[in-house]
Structure 1
Amino acid sequence: MKTLSPLICSLGLAVASLLTQAAHAQETKPGDPVAAQKKVAMCIGCHGIVGYQASFPEVHRVPMISGQSAKYIAAALHAYQKGERKHPTMRGIAASLTDQDIADISVYYEANGKNLPAHTGKGRAPSAEVDALLKKGNCASCHGADLNKPIDVYPKLAGQYEDYVFVAMKSYQTEGKGPIGRGNPIMAAQAKMFTLPELKLLANYIGSLPSDLKTVPQSKFR
């Protein structure tokens, strides 16, 4: 019996992979926040407790996600699946989710923030030092006015817990090598422009801004 050439085998595998991806994409429907109510049990244990702190691999409050855009939440979960974000707990959770789960959970948390009062007014003006850092990083170009009107898959930053923001920005400096590393090339380039004290200043300012982000206590999910 003749064997297939390596080239033919490779082409066959590539075609099969593309067909599988296409079929998988067709199976994913628009996110359903009602369906997500049965899927968020693993989320509310951390994100449903106000001020809850992660203790491994670094201590910080877990981020508020109610009110973030569905696009951002989906992008973050896919990044954990791919290993671009290396937080061990979140990687394990994301790995257990299907594309449909991610779509459902993402729209759920976006909608969840809309049921709560939005902030009014502008944030306080940054100090001259912080203003220079914001301009150096060109933060508003992606995260929007008052760091609360982001474009595309970027997150709202305003009012997010400052200790989480600091750890997140610092993690981009590791190029994904550490247990909390992140490998996004755009954010890695931005984060590397700053020293740790400068990142701390930025994080403290960001955390002081009025926010549309919320933590909805677990009892309110039911």
Structure 2
Amino acid sequence: MKKLLQISLALATALTAFAAQAQDVKAGERKAAMCIGCHGIPGYQASFPEIHKVPMIAGQNAKYIVAALQAYAKGDRKHPTMRGIAASMTEQDMADMAAFYEQQAKLPAVADSVAAPSANVAELLNKGACISCHGANFSKAIDPSYPKLAGQHADYLTVALKAYKVERNANVGRNNAIMVGQVKQFSNAELKAMAKYISSLPTELATVPQPKLR
């Protein structure tokens, strides 16, 4: 009984700590100052590894944002700028910023049904089993550690998908066993076609412009 009580107390402490991290939105807003130069400017384009719009992260799942930052910090996602930023952050920083961005966009939830893709794109999406993780409308993933994709910039999605095909490059590439296996089935043109469809769907994501004076 004593051992069980100790385990219960330890679990309660851990859950309390996690809840405190995930709910510190105001702290996340302050810490997001390092992000707004790219993610707070609608239409802002990055030039590495090729020109593309930076992803919309307002309204994104907080657990996914944390997972992405951790991947950049560990080098599982290779991007010099993002790795430098993520490596400078503590777990608390990541949790705070993720909580802030998750609630920053106040868009209506995407409906359960969305416009169907063309037959060709539908075949590609079925081949990749995309909905098994990202949901039928690409906005309600089966786990919040997976990203909402619907409405995300097509050029960003294309660049991100192609990154899973890159090998032995110190500055470009993504390492995720599931995604690597899925993406390597497709040509870059097929990835672009899937990204274009997904980007056309109703979205819960946004880029929220930041005030010039904070």
The TM-score by the shorter chain falls in which range? 0.7 to 0.9
Distance in 1 (alpha carbons) for counterparts of 2:126 and 2:111: 24
Taking only the aligned residue pairs, the percentage that are identical comes to 59
How many residue pairs match? The answer is 198
1:164-206 Cα shifts (integer Å, max 9, x gaps): 0000000001146352200111100010010111101101111
- Residue of structure 2 in register with 1:73 after alignment: 65
Q: 1:98 aligns with which of 74, 90, 98?
A: 90
- Residue of structure 2 in register with 1:108 after alignment: 100
**More deviation in 129-138 or 146-155?**
146-155
Q: Please tell me whether the aligned partners of residues 150 and 156 of structure 1 are also in contact (alpha carbons under 8 angstroms).
A: yes
1:125 Cα offset (Å): 1.1
Write the letter of the residue equivalent to 2:47: S
Unaligned runs of 5+ in 2: 1-14
1:121 Cα offset (Å): 7.2
Q: Please tell me whether the aligned partners of residues 175 and 188 of structure 1 are also in contact (alpha carbons under 8 angstroms).
A: no
Is 1:219 aligned to residue 211 of structure 2?
yes
Q: 2:175 aligns with which of 180, 183, 192?
A: 183
Distance in 2 (alpha carbons) for counterparts of 1:217 and 1:110: 15
Q: Please tell me whether the aligned partners of residues 164 and 179 of structure 2 are also in contact (alpha carbons under 8 angstroms).
A: yes
- Residue of structure 1 in register with 2:6 after alignment: none
1:124 Cα offset (Å): 1.8
Q: How does 1:147-162 map to 2 (within 5 A)?
A: 147-152=138-143, 153-162=145-154
Write the letter of the residue equivalent to 2:84: G
Q: Please tell me whether the aligned partners of residues 86 and 176 of structure 1 are also in contact (alpha carbons under 8 angstroms).
A: no
- Superposition RMSD on alpha carbons, in Å? 2.3
- Residue of structure 2 in register with 1:138 after alignment: 129
Distance in 2 (alpha carbons) for counterparts of 1:209 and 1:78: 28
Larger Rg: 1
Write the letter of the residue equivalent to 1:142: C
Provide the TM-score with structure 2 as the length reference. Answer: 0.86
Q: Please tell me whether the aligned partners of residues 77 and 94 of structure 1 are also in contact (alpha carbons under 8 angstroms).
A: yes
Unaligned runs of 5+ in 1: 1-24
Distance in 2 (alpha carbons) for counterparts of 1:57 and 1:136: 27
